[in-house]
Amino acid sequence: MAEDLTSFRTQVQAWLSEHFPSSLKSNAAGIMEAAFSENGLSADAEQWRQSLADAGYGAPTWPKEYGGAGLSDSQAAVLSGEMANVGAFNPIPGLAGMGVTMVGPTVLEYGSEDQKLRHLPGIASGTVRWCLGLSEPNAGSDLASLTTKAQDDGDTWIVNGQKIWTSGADRSQWCGALVRTDASAKKRDGISFLMLKMDQPGVRTRPIKLIGGASPFCETFFDDARAEKDDLLGPLNNGWSVVKRLLQHERQSQTGAGAPSGSGSAALSIQDLAKKYVGTTESGELADADLRSRLTSHLMATKAHAMTGSRIREEARGKVEVSAAASILKNSATIVAQVRSELTIEMMGNQGLGWEGDDFTPEELATVRGWLSGKAISIYGGSFEVQKNIISKNILGLPETTQKG
Amino acid sequence: MAALTEEQTLIRDQARAWVTEQSPVRKFRQMRDEKAPLSFHADDWQAMIDMGWTGILVPEKYGGSELGYLTLGIVLEETGRQLTASPLLASAGIGAAALLVAGSDEQKQRILPGVVDGSNVVTLAVEEGPRHDPRQLSLAAMSRDDGLSLVGEKTMVHEAMAATHFVVAVRTSGHAGDENGMTLVLVDAESEGLTLSPLSTVDSRGYASLSFSDVKVSEEQILGSVNSAYVHLEQILDRARAATAAEMMGTAAQAFDMTLEYLKTRVQFGQVIGSFQALGHRAADLFTEMELTRSCMEGALQAIDAGREDVPELCSLSKTRTGEFIHHMSNELIQIHGGIGMTDEFDAGLYLKRARPLEAAWGNQAFHRDRYARLLGF
Ligand SMILES: Cc1cc2nc3c(=O)[nH]c(=O)nc-3n(C[C@H](O)[C@H](O)[C@H](O)COP(=O)(O)OP(=O)(O)OC[C@H]3O[C@@H](n4cnc5c(N)ncnc54)[C@H](O)[C@@H]3O)c2cc1C
């Protein structure tokens, strides 16, 4: 086992030195910004994307026949470690929207062979972007009350209804949508998971602007939109179990506490940033004792979160199961990330209140925007409160409240 | 729970079976009600010795098994669950650690086999005031012909009434507040000039104050070198903190289990109270906190076993997080049990009363938050 990894590591190092363009070094943010602008990926970035796709390293643990590299989890860890060492970054998960993290793993589990061959390679190469049409105006946390419906028209499904908060809908080629296929069944029993093309007359998107200023998501309207008959994922009327699994994948992808906003090789640790803005006493302690104590608690929470992630991985012997633990980690990652943002703007003082312009550094502005957009973490992927429901019911075995709607 | 070795799993299962069958919390209550002079049952202590727990830290050449700190933590977690009272932590944990960190081979040879077979009970005497602050220690040790003479006071010395030896941190030069000028000495409990006064504390465990009036200490009793014991003292205290945190984890985990059980059985308004979302969410918060805390507690013990450099940070992290968790958990234990939680007849109060002394031991949450910040350079 250990031997395997050593030779694999050497192989990855050689591959990286051959294929990774040094112009892209430590520039993840730049690459993704360009990708979503008018210009698209730079020539070097496009070449790098293609190299990753050819090697199957965009979604490295997926089987080779579907565009992955068939790596084990520990090999994939070596790959990402080596990439980090040379300042390389895998843009494919970002380019594929919800494809790599959520749709792909679910297709791998529930899809037919034909569906896997048709959908996965486009995701793994970062050339087909996916969005997810789950939430509706009246179906948020209570997703099963959705009303968008799909009717069987012989050759195709005809879809009518409205979705909301569809991330990246205006920039995606495909959508994984949750639709009602049996109106007479009980709430959860008449739902199916349908995959459909976004570029068709029956689909319209309207971007929604968020408090942070960006418009990452849309209202999505289906008016007699069409989906192929063989693009139903999983059995008819069994969409609820498909989406439950998909949401576990989503939660799993949100259990890391994320990189500090404005991170890059030059970014200061949050304690150094605090010293810079707040100053220190003669003995080198942060001048604001109250902030110092709260910052310490935050750093401890960050460390505890990281150690819990490793402990759970270790207990699972290298294989992270999509499990109950994900709900704990999602909420703790949320707290870590949101508290970090709050502390950062607090320590920046007036400089942490800017919206735009030259009076503020790019890092200060990014911190403010990040603080605002980060409020979403406790809302999507199952809200903070919904995660607590899951923990109390599924892990602790407490009965569901009778007061719930 | 960390990925345990087969041996560790075996030891945990044995410890869990023994505490639940032979030394459940009922036995602690009985000890408290009888006001047992040593504040533990001699038969419990003997059973622990027979099971080999007193040798877990001690190398084989001094009669132990040297299984390490994580293994000791596994056992302490189980005794913490039932509040089982004994000098296990104070002597086989902290006392043994003091000798292993600071003692010479001759001193280890002389004392440790007795720690393992129970004929020696060695306990650490550091505290002098109401708050943990080792740099402030001032118990004076004056040079005499062939050693030192001690004059001053120590307080909150764990399991002092059962002790055969004390590891005492004394000041051989400088002033309270200086890191330099401290020395560690091994004092025989029978020494002339040493007076013990038992303390009656809220957790009904064994503590005493020690009064030294011209207690003579020979050169063979000095652990490490004179005046430069602070580094050793910190290492010993970190081991004490990490091991205490393991016991705290067990006590708090038991409080969690009792609370969860009550949430599932107590009926009000025609339904079990655990079906009220306000309580379900609090249980979810406590569970999350417990899992995060466990990682810190185990991580510190593993770091000591591996001889890692970040031991001081991790021990402060562990002591703070277990302190915060047991504080929160012991309060919720009472609140969620309602009126029954307030009765002496019910066990919840025993857990609350044990929680605060454990939080204070070797530095409370505030002490360790401050230390953590300093270690991280702010
Ligand atoms: C940035 C962002 C991106 C998103 N991307 C997508 C996407 O790509 N595709 C998609 O389909 N959706 C997406 N969503 C939608 C997201 O999944 C929903 O916002 C989420 O499910 C919550 O639904 P809601 O907004 O209707 O809030 P509601 O469900 O109305 O919740 C309102 C409040 O009530 C609380 N609440 C609700 N039910 C309970 C309960 N049972 N117990 C206790 N408290 C409760 C919630 O926690 C919340 O505080 C996105 C949302 C955001 C913010």
CATH number for B66: 1.10.540.10
* Amino acid letter for position B116: V
Instruction: Give the residue among B36, B100, B35, B24 at the shortest CA–CA distance from B68.
Output: B100
* Percent of all residues in chain A with a pLDDT value above 70, rounded to a whole number: 93
Among B281, B320, B366, the residue with its CB nearest the CB of A300 is: B320
pLDDT for B185 equals 98
Residue A321 falls in the annotated catalytic set:
no
Q: Is B6 exposed, middle or buried (0-12, 13-18, 19+ CB in 10 A)?
A: exposed
* Rounded Cα–Cα distance for residues A345 and B280 (Å): 33
Do B216 and B263 have their domain in common?
no
Q: Provide the angle, in degrees to the nearest 10, between the axes of the packed helices B348-360 and B311-337.
A: 160
Q: Does B292 touch chain A (CB under 8 A)?
A: yes
Pocket test for ligand 1, best of B275, B276, B277, B281 (most atoms within 8 A of CB): B277
A201-209: long-range contacts, CB 8 A cutoff, minimum separation 24: A202/A159, A202/A226, A203/A175, A205/A166, A205/A169, A205/A170, A207/A170, A208/A164, A208/A165
| Two structure tokens written together for B315 | 């021990």
- Ligand 1 pocket member A167 (CB < 6 A): yes
Do B132 and B191 have their domain in common?
yes
Question: CB B281 to CB A385 under 8 A?
Answer: yes
* Rounded Cα–Cα distance for residues A56 and A227 (Å): 29
Tell me the C-alpha to C-alpha distance, in Å, between residue B182 and each of A395, B39, B227. Answer: 50, 31, 5
Do B205 and B248 have their domain in common?
no
* Rounded Cα–Cα distance for residues A141 and A207 (Å): 21
Among A299, A314, A399, the residue with its CB nearest the CB of B376 is: A299
Tell me the C-alpha to C-alpha distance, in Å, between residue B25 and each of A220, A254, B218, B251, B348. Answer: 61, 41, 42, 11, 11
Instruction: Give the residue among B333, B319, B302 at the shortest CA–CA distance from B132.
Output: B319
Residue B270 belongs to a domain: yes
- Ligand 1 pocket member A380 (CB < 6 A): yes
CATH number for B355: 1.20.140.10
Q: Which of B5, B271, B288, B370 to mutate to test the interface with A (most CBs of A within 10 A)?
A: B288
Q: How confident is the model at residue A265 (pLDDT cuts 50, 70, 90)?
A: very low
pLDDT for A248 equals 84
Tally of CB atoms within 10 A around B65: 18
CA distance B224 to chain A (A): 30
What are the extents of the domains in chain A? Answer: 8-95, 130-237, 257-394
C-alpha A306 to ligand 1 mean position (Å): 26
Residue B1 belongs to a domain: no
Write down the CATH superfamily of domain A257-394.
Answer: Butyryl-CoA Dehydrogenase, subunit A, domain 3 (1.20.140.10)
- Protein residue with its CA nearest to atom 44 in ligand 1: A385
Instruction: Give the residue among A172, A180, A234, A229 at the shortest CA–CA distance from A203.
Output: A172
DSSP string, A271-284: HHHHHHHH-B-TTS
Instruction: Give the residue among B202, B123, B177, B180 at the shortest CA–CA distance from B155.
Output: B123
DSSP string, A363-377: HHHHHHHHHHHGGGG
DSSP string, A242-256: HHHHHHHHHHHHT-S
What CATH architecture applies to the domain A130-237?
A: Beta Barrel (2.40)
Residues B69 and B305 sit within 8 Å (Cβ to Cβ)? yes
pLDDT for A252 equals 76
CATH number for B141: 2.40.110.10
Do B214 and B338 have their domain in common?
no
Show the domain range for B178: 124-227
Q: Which of A136, A250, A363, A364 is catalytic?
A: A250
Size of interface A-B (CB pairs under 8 A): 124
Do B42 and B62 have their domain in common?
yes
pLDDT for A1 equals 47
Q: Per-residue pLDDT for chain B (378 aa), expressed as one digit of tens each?
A: 777 889 999 999 999 999 999 999 999 999 999 999 999 999 999 999 999 999 999 999 999 999 999 999 999 999 999 999 999 999 999 999 999 999 999 999 999 999 999 999 999 999 999 999 999 999 999 998 889 999 999 999 999 999 999 999 999 999 999 999 999 999 999 999 999 999 999 999 999 999 999 999 999 999 999 999 999 999 999 999 999 999 999 999 999 999 999 999 999 999 999 999 999 999 999 999 999 999 999 999 999 999 999 999 999 999 999 999 999 999 999 999 999 999 999 999 999 999 999 999 999 999 999 999 999 999
**Tally of domains in chain B:** 3
- Protein residue with its CA nearest to atom 1 in ligand 1: A376
CA dihedral of B329, B334, B336, B337, whole degrees rounded to 10: 140
Q: Which of A391, A393, A395, A403 to mutate to test the interface with B (most CBs of B within 10 A)?
A: A391
Question: CB B264 to CB A397 under 8 A?
Answer: yes
Looking from the CA of residue A135, the nearest atom of ligand 1 is 11
- Ligand 1 pocket member A101 (CB < 6 A): no
**Average pLDDT, whole number, for chain A?**
91
User: Tokens 């994939």 label which residue?
Assistant: A76
Class of domain A8-95: mainly alpha
pLDDT for A262 equals 40
Q: Is A64 exposed, middle or buried (0-12, 13-18, 19+ CB in 10 A)?
A: exposed
> Of chain A residues 216-275, which have a CB less than 8 A from chain B?
271-272, 274-275
Contacts of A194 (CB under 8 A, 6+ apart): A150, A157, A159, A176, A177, A178, A179, A227, A231, A232, A233, A239
N-terminal to C-terminal alpha carbon distance within chain A: 51
**Residue B232, phi then psi, degrees to nearest 5:** -65, -45
Residue B316 belongs to a domain: yes
* Rounded Cα–Cα distance for residues B43 and A304 (Å): 38
C-alpha B279 to ligand 1 mean position (Å): 22
Tell me the C-alpha to C-alpha distance, in Å, between residue B122 and each of A275, B233, B248. Answer: 44, 15, 21
| Two structure tokens written together for A294 | 């709260």
- Ligand 1 pocket member A134 (CB < 6 A): yes
| Two structure tokens written together for B58 | 């001690």
CA distance B273 to chain A (A): 9
Choose one of B202, B227, B252: the last residue of a domain.
B227
Contacts of B28 (CB under 8 A, 6+ apart): B82, B83, B84, B85, B204, B350
Q: Is A43 exposed, middle or buried (0-12, 13-18, 19+ CB in 10 A)?
A: exposed
| Two structure tokens written together for B285 | 């918060």
Lowest-pLDDT choice from A19-28, A240-249, A396-405: A396-405
Question: CB B378 to CB A295 under 8 A?
Answer: yes
Write down the pTM of the prediction: 0.91
**Residue B240, phi then psi, degrees to nearest 5:** -65, -40
Looking from the CA of residue A98, the nearest atom of ligand 1 is 8
Looking at residue A99, the DSSP 8-state letter turns out to be I
In DSSP terms, which residues pair with A178 in a beta bridge?
A193
Q: Which of A273, A290, A296 to mutate to test the interface with B (most CBs of B within 10 A)?
A: A296
CA distance B314 to chain A (A): 9
Question: CB B372 to CB A299 under 8 A?
Answer: yes
DSSP string, B343-374: -TTSTHHHHHHHHHHHHHTTS-HHHHHHHHHH
pLDDT for A264 equals 41
Looking from the CA of residue A384, the nearest atom of ligand 1 is 47
**Where in A13-80 does DSSP place strands (E)?**
none
Residues A90 and A69 sit within 8 Å (Cβ to Cβ)? no
pLDDT for B20 equals 97
Do B367 and B249 have their domain in common?
yes
Question: CB B1 to CB A315 under 8 A?
Answer: yes
Among B271, B369, B378, the residue with its CB nearest the CB of A286 is: B378
- Protein residue with its CA nearest to atom 35 in ligand 1: A385
A385 chain-B contacts, CB cut-off 8 A? 281
How many residues does this entry show for chain B? 378
A310 chain-B contacts, CB cut-off 8 A? 295
Q: Cα angle vertex A305, ends B352, A365, to 5°? A: 120
pLDDT for B56 equals 98
Question: H or E stretch including A179?
Answer: strand A174-180
